[in-house]
Amino acid sequence: MSGLKLFRYTAWAAVAALAVVSGVLVYQQTAGNKNSGALIEPLAAIGGPFELVNGNGETVTDKTFAGKPTLIFFGFTFCPDVCPTTLSELQGWMDVLGDDAGKLNYAFVSVDPERDTPDVMRDYVAAFDERITPLTGSREQVDAIIKAYRVYAKKVPLDDGDYTMDHSAAVYLMDADNKFVGTIAYAEEEENALRKLRRLIDNAPASS
């Protein structure tokens, strides 16, 4: 077998193996849905307690959001595209949800607290929707939530001496008990995203 052929066979074998693994994962998620009605089984490994600071410099913890499901995502205000796009999409979902939008909390957490001070975060998020809570904090506070939520965030130096941030783009969906139940991927179809949000709302305990 020529080197090229061997490479092709190996590549196809890898694709086939990946397909089997993906199939199993999809099956497990579907099976989980039937049993519990949750998006996927809550994974204890993602999420947990946190302590951050909002746009007014006030302390916000996971308990601040208790009782309502929360959409939380991570980024930074200097972000050229992913964060503004996600914030716009979030705004669009809230518009479609109408009154039901009030049954969820929304939080945008900076992974770049050195530049994203509370003031910067407040002004930035206010340009999209004031119902979204801007969150930042000390480097230690931000690193703690990045770790707890298993977020990828990395400083990347730019040629001009400045830097940008590579970061995970998914929106995390947390239930009313702050348990992780799934994500909405970057640029996910609006219909899918709304289906997940409505399920999150439907599964939440009725608020009094």
Q: Write down the least CB distance from residue 167 to Ni ion, Å.
A: 6
CA 153 and chain centroid, separation: 12
The span of 45-53, 54-62, 73-81, 117-125 binding Ni ion (CB under 5 A) equals 73-81
Q: Write down the least CB distance from residue 111 to Ni ion, Å.
A: 8
The count of residues interacting with Ni ion (CB under 5 A) is 4
82 binds Ni ion (CB under 5 A): yes
Instruction: Output 42 or 137, the one with its CB closest to Ni ion.
Output: 137
Residues 150, 144: contact at Cβ < 8 Å? no
**β-bridge partners, 135:** 109
Q: Write down the least CB distance from residue 203 to Ni ion, Å.
A: 29
Q: Which of 79, 120, 142, 145 binds Ni ion (CB under 5 A)?
A: 79
Q: Write down the least CB distance from residue 146 to Ni ion, Å.
A: 14
Q: Which of 42, 47, 75, 137 binds Ni ion (CB under 5 A)?
A: 75
If one counts every other C-beta atom within 10 angstroms of the C-beta of residue 106, the result is: 22
Which helix (DSSP H) or strand (DSSP E) does residue 41 occupy? none
149 vs 107: CA distance, rounded Å = 13
Q: Which of 53, 72, 83, 145 binds Ni ion (CB under 5 A)?
A: 83
111 binds Ni ion (CB under 5 A): no
The span of 16-24, 75-83, 102-110, 199-207 binding Ni ion (CB under 5 A) equals 75-83
Q: Write down the least CB distance from residue 171 to Ni ion, Å.
A: 12
Interface pattern 32-71 for Ni ion (x via CB under 5 A) = ----------------------------------------
- What tokens were used for 59? 């302390």
Range 146-155 contact pairs with CB under 8 angstroms and sequence separation of 24 or more: 146/74, 146/111, 148/46, 148/47, 148/48, 148/49, 148/50, 149/46, 149/47, 149/48, 149/72, 149/74, 150/45, 150/46, 151/74, 151/111, 153/74, 153/111, 155/112
94 vs 100: CA distance, rounded Å = 8
Instruction: Output 39 or 165, the one with its CB closest to Ni ion.
Output: 165
Residues 174, 145: contact at Cβ < 8 Å? no
Instruction: Output 110 or 178, the one with its CB closest to Ni ion.
Output: 110
Residues near Ni ion (CB under 5 A) are 75, 79, 82-83
